Amino acid sequence: MLDNEPRGRILPTLISLIVVGVLLMTFDVRVQGQGVVGVMRTGTQTLVAPLQKAAAVVVNPVADMVRSLTNVASLQEENRVLRAQIAEQQAALIGVQDDLARLEFLEQLYDLETAGDELGRTVALVIGRPGAFDSALIINKGTADGVAVGQPVVDTNGYVVGTVKDVTGGSATIVPITGDRQAVTVIVGEQIGTLVSQVASSEMRLEVLDAREPILAGDRVLTSAVSASFPAGLPIGEVIGDSAPGIDTLTTFVSPFVNPDILRLVVVLAWPPDPVSITADDRVIPVDTSTTTTVASSSTTAEEG
């Protein structure tokens, strides 16, 4: 009996609230002068506006991010195209540089070969090495071109490379001074010394007996007039460290001007012109116009003094 009484009161109360709500809405419509649709629109806008603002806060950044991603993808594609174009231009530039280097090489070769016959020089291409661990060089000129054992070899700048050690009809083997056990008689300033190679090193050791004054870094080392393997005055390298004389000797080190590993062209000098009758005065002549071709002449070349 007690349980049914509250339920019986709920229904009348609900009906009363609905009636009051309809009356209030009708009164509000009449007061505002709007129709039911206008009131519904205003109410709907009032309810929806906060939701629209919230949606704008969430959706707008997402839309901006999507647009940004689209722009990034477009830029990435443009960058890819530009990188491909740059790579093509770089390849073309490398090709042009190679052509220029080849042209310069051929011009240099032509100029040297043109002057070679007049100056008693034989221009040769470096075509290989006897072995992987051998510092010697093989050139494409031999006895048929006037090359003989013992002749000095320089590079295109006139810097000393070495001497011819073996020769065939169409090729010859050159041993650089950096790999030759034979000493070279040199002059530094006014002091005469000997230059010897070192094992597994591109530097050479300079020894001056009866040294009278210091030798300084940067001093040029030239072939001496008393050398039996090279004409006088050919540049070999420069001193890499200061050295003062001791009691009676001076020792320092020299960096050669020529790196045999990168040589492409060499010049074989037809010197001495007459190894049998050569005198000390004749040795000061750097290059003679005659070309030594006989084995008998080349075999009499003496070791360094």
Q: Which two tokens stand for residue 78?
A: 């443009």
Distance CA 113, CA 242 (A): 40
DSSP result, 138-196: EES--GGGT--TT-EEE-TTS-EEEEEEEE-SS-EEEEEGGG-SS-EEEEETTEEEEEE
Count the domains in the chain.
1
Residue 212 sits in a domain whose CATH number is 2.40.10.350
**59 inside domain:** no
**pLDDT for position 212:** 86
CA–CA gap between residue 270 and residue 287 (Å, rounded): 7
Domain presence at residue 18: no
The CA distance from 192 to 210, in Å, is 9
DSSP assignment of 90-142 = HHHHHHHHHHHHHHHHHHHHHHHHHHHHHHTEEEEEEEE-SSTT---EEES--
- Judging by DSSP bridges, how do beta strands 204-209 and 220-223 pair with one another? unpaired
- Residue 12, domain member (yes or no): no
160-198 burial, b at 16+ Cβ within 10 Å, e below that, comes to bbbbbeebeeebbbbbbbbbbeebbbbbbeebbbbbbbe
274, 298 in Cβ contact below 8 A? Answer: no
Does 53 reside within a domain?
A: no
- Give which of 197, 207, 280, 213 is closest to 245, Cα–Cα: 213
* Residue 46 CA to its chain's centroid (Å): 73
Grouped pLDDT means (10 residues each) for the chain, 305 residues: 57 72 60 54 58 60 70 83 88 78 62 59 89 86 93 93 95 94 92 91 91 92 92 95 86 94 91 54 40 35 39
102 domain-assigned: no
CA angle 201, 283, 136 (to 5 degrees): 30
C-alpha of 95 from chain center: 16
CA distance 43 to 70: 39
Residue 129 is assigned to a structural domain of this protein:
yes
3-state secondary structure of 198: coil
**Domain assignment present for 241:** yes
User: pTM value?
Assistant: 0.56
Domain holding 124, by residue range, is: 120-305
Distance of alpha carbon 61 from alpha carbon 80, whole angstroms: 28
Q: Is residue 40 part of a domain?
A: no
**CA neighbor of 161 nearest in space, from 264, 293, 90, 58:** 264
